[in-house]
Chains A and B, each alone.
Chain A
Amino acid sequence: MSESRLKGWKELPIGGLILEAGNSEEYNTGSWRAFRPVLHPEICTHDLMCWLYCPDAAILVEEGKMMGFDLKHCKGCGLCAKVCPHKPSAITMVEEGEAEQAGK
């Protein structure tokens, strides 16, 4: 799904059919989010418990390191913040509006 322009009724396949397999990646489920996860890299030890538990595969990992969040698909469930073994957690949930204002 393109953010800039959604297809009109003359362009879409009829019947609500989706003709491409593996298309859920295109759906911006991040727009459903009320709380946004924010990473505190100074606490994170890259144990990847968040990656293991995330139901939306929205934890970005490169070469075994926790690199942040796929915010197009993160629905903001907060599971990552909860399962982080650190006290305090290396991930906190911030209200989406506040996070946007803070430019996080």
Chain B
Amino acid sequence: MGTIVAYSGNQAIAEAMRQINPDVCAAYPITPQTELMQQFASFVADGLVDTELVTVESEHSAMSACVGASAAGGRVMTATSAQGMALMWEIMYCASGLRLPVIMTIVNRALNAPLNIHGDHSDSMGARDSGWIQIYSENAQEAYDNIIQAVRIGEEASVRLPVAVCYDGFIISHSIERMEILEDEEIKGFVGPYQNKFHPLLDVEHPVTYGPVDLQDYYTEHKRQQVEAMQNALPLILRVAEEYKKLSSRGYGYFETYRLEDAEIGMFILNSAAGTAKEVVDELRASGIRAGLLKLRIFRPFPYLEIAAALKHLKVLAIMDRSESFGAMGGPIFNEVRSALLGLEKPPLTFNYIYGLGGREPSLAEIHKVFARGKEVVATGKVEVLHDYLQVRD
């Protein structure tokens, strides 16, 4: 049985971390993640967890300490945002390449320069090839539910990959919402003790080498193993969600569909703006327009077959990116979703909008503009501009 609380996204994650009670947490403060770790640090200080909290001098050190602690055989968690994640970059690849299931919250924030502390997805989207599983969350409840499931997903023997759980800076991290937290004992039972350790360094009876040079003769094989681990994560993500549903009554898949089944015009979106977009879908439905939505939860591994199957009946699909991929053919989500659809016999027409950069909030009216554009494309059967900006002044 859960308890209904009024928590911000950051409080929700701190609370989940208290319940998970990791062995080690190494972190460095950065807006808008700071209050998450501040809250967790107070749990450590109050003796509510057994966690060794390592207060390091930078995010590069934070991720390095996480890698070391995870290789030693500990359950390890951390959190960051934007510039902090950028400074972790090098070691993020070490975590995935060494197959260490570090669990990290990324409170999504725009990357500098120019200096901006607000929510967009340029941090985690930039790290999409770092070998981390990426789970996106619309609100505090989803963030809480996702971080608990992330522990089980990352630590499974067939996967053993680091997992990032993402939610939007400020709009989710600092807004207080009604949500449910489960009982401490329920979470403890769900995550269980860390069992699938793989040759931990602290097993001194069985010495092993971590991180030896890996040249032309073996590197390719180790990368191929990482690809396999990502594939293995796909069915596991659904199994863990099914088990979590028994505990929480909240179901999760690779994505959520909203009034999509009989829709003509769809929107592909993730994180907090999906809430706004659902509202617009309802308004359009009330005026007889067959609008629908797909909100992505799992971006890595990318469930492209399931995505294509869910979207195959649409006439038009608007694909929304809250980060830019400069010089590419549209944003990162656009590229991948459009690719996924190309396998269909009659794929929907697609166009891409970049929105919400640096925390610019997409209003209902802005989302309406996207669907209006979708209606035009249905009428003309043509996409004039593939990659456009929803919210920019000329």
Which residues of A come within 8 Å of B, CB atoms?
1, 6-9, 12-19, 21, 23
B98 and A16 contacting across the interface, CB-CB below 8 Å: yes
A residues less than 8 Å from B218 (CB atoms): 6, 12, 16
Q: Given known contacts A6-B218, A12-B222, is B97 in contact with A17 (CB within 8 Å)?
A: no
B221 and A15 contacting across the interface, CB-CB below 8 Å: no
Task: Please report the C-alpha to C-alpha distance between residue A8 and residue B211 in the assembled complex, in whole angstroms.
Answer: 19
Given contacts A9-B228, A14-B222, 6 further A-B contacts (CB under 8 A): A16-B211, A16-B222, A17-B199, A18-B212, A21-B208, A23-B209
Interface string of B194-210 (1 = CB under 8 A from A): 00001100000011111
Residues of B7-64 at the interface with A, using a CB-CB cut-off of 8 Å, are: none
Q: Given known contacts A8-B221, A14-B222, is B98 in contact with A19 (CB within 8 Å)?
A: no
Most buried by B among A6, A8, A9: A9
A16 and B198 contacting across the interface, CB-CB below 8 Å: no
Classify chain B: how many residues form its interface, as a range.
20 to 34
Q: Interface residues of A: mostly helix, strand, loop or mixed?
A: loop
A residues less than 8 Å from B210 (CB atoms): 15, 17
Most buried by B among A1, A17, A21: A17
B209 and A17 contacting across the interface, CB-CB below 8 Å: yes
Tell me if B160 counts as interface (CB < 8 A to partner A): yes
Task: Please report the C-alpha to C-alpha distance between residue A19 and residue B97 in the assembled complex, in whole angstroms.
Answer: 16
Most buried by A among B160, B207, B209, B214: B209
Task: Please report the C-alpha to C-alpha distance between residue A18 and residue B222 in the assembled complex, in whole angstroms.
Answer: 12
A residues less than 8 Å from B217 (CB atoms): 1, 6
A15 and B222 contacting across the interface, CB-CB below 8 Å: yes
Nearest-neighbour CB distance to chain B for A29, whole angstroms, equals 11
A17 and B208 contacting across the interface, CB-CB below 8 Å: yes
Task: Please report the C-alpha to C-alpha distance between residue A14 and residue B160 in the assembled complex, in whole angstroms.
Answer: 9
